[in-house]
Amino acid sequence: MITCFLRYEVDLDKLKDFEEYGRMWIRLVNKLGGTHHGYLMPSEGASDVALASFSFPSMAAYEQYRKAAATDAECQAAMAFYERTRCFRRYDRSFFRPVFE
């Protein structure tokens, strides 16, 4: 299993847009074979950081997802939503493998 961890710098004036963007991707990752673990939104304080993570059975499965997302109409619509709203300034993507008991 491989887990993709995302760290976003969000625009605090556009949190509702970012939340809508996140909800789109939760459904899309699940639709395309992954397991989305949700988004963590800034809650209290001055934080402009949001987090998200999702998993795939392997890096090869993740690469399949990336190929499918590049041509999926709903994924393209989610990206167009981001282009219109600019609800985050940047993001970092890291990959992890979980260890269980």
| Per-residue pLDDT tens digits for 27-69 | 999 999 999 999 999 987 768 999 999 999 999 999 999 999 9
- Measuring CA to CA, which residue among 71, 66, 83 is closest to residue 17? 83
Provide the pairing of β-strand 88-96 with 49-56: unpaired
What is the model's pLDDT at position 101? 85
- Beta carbons of 8 and 88 less than 8 angstroms apart: yes
Q: What is the mean pLDDT of residues 93-97?
A: 95
pTM for the whole structure: 0.89
Q: Is pLDDT of 19 > 90?
A: yes
Output phi, psi for 34, to 5 deg: -100, 180
